């Protein structure tokens, strides 16, 4: 399967030329997952990002990671075809800030390794500039969404005097 049509749908590849998309496509791998499969765990090292070709992925956080409560992870986002995740590891090479779990059978992901993508960006600065600009915009949108969720939960808990409901 050619991964370029899938890459073309992802916002982080907006305004890239067909040749630039082909270059990125040449470094991609494909992986298939089933419902319930863990793609990566929160607080583990990451060196690749993902674009969903088909299926659905839930992004989850575990409050136990910060000592708040034990056990159950909370889904903070559900992603579908053309959406990307795991981008933070491209920027800071740090630990994953959340877990990713497949939520539909036969989920197909395009996997983009950080080292090969950074080499492309260094080799083709115009591609690198566009990609990093799009990546910054995508991460800013996700931060704003998360900020809104946090504000809603804080407001809800202050108004009711209770903890907000779990997702």
The structural domains of the chain, ordered by start, are 4-156 (2.60.120.10)
Average pLDDT over the chain reads 88
Lowest-confidence region among 15-29, 31-45, 66-80: 66-80
No. of helices (H) and no. of strands (E), the chain:
5, 8
The answer, yes or no, to whether residue 47 has pLDDT greater than 80, is yes
Ranking 22-31, 53-62, 87-96, 152-161 by mean pLDDT, the lowest is: 152-161
What is the Cα–Cα distance from 149 to 20, expressed in whole angstroms? 35
Percent of the chain with pLDDT over 90: 64
Check if the beta carbon of residue 52 is closer than 8 Å to that of residue 100.
no
- pTM listed for this prediction: 0.84
Q: Which of 8-22, 87-101, 105-119 has the lowest mean pLDDT?
A: 87-101
pLDDT digit string, tens, across residues 88-99: 877 888 899 899
Q: Is the pLDDT of residue 68 over 90?
A: no
**Contact assessment for residue 114 and residue 48, using Cβ atoms and an 8 Å cutoff:** yes
What beta strand segments (E) does 41-154 contain?
Answer: 48-54, 57-61, 74-79, 84-85, 99-102, 107-113
The answer to whether 61 and 73 are in contact (CB under 8 A) is: yes
pLDDT of 41 reads: 94
């Amino acid at each position: 399967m050619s991964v370029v049509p899938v890459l073309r749908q992802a916002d982080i590849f907006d305004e890239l030329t067909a040749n630039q998309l082909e270059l990125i496509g040449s470094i991609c791998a494909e992986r298939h997952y089933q419902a319930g499969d863990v793609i990566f765990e929160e607080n583990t090292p990451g060196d690749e990002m993902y674009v969903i070709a088909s299926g659905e992925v839930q992004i989850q956080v575990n409050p136990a990671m910060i000592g708040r409560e034990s056990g159950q992870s909370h889904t903070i986002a559900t992603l579908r075809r053309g959406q990307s995740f795991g981008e933070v590891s491209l920027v800071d090479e740090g630990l994953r800030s959340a877990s990713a779990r497949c939520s539909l059978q036969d989920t197909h992901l395009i996997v983009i390794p950080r080292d090969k993508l950074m080499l492309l960006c260094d080799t083709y600065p115009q591609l690198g500039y566009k990609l990093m600009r799009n990546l910054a915009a995508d991460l800013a949108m996700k931060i704003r969404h998360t900020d809104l969720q946090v504000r809603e939960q804080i407001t809800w808990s202050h108004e009711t005097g209770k903890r907000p409901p779990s997702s």
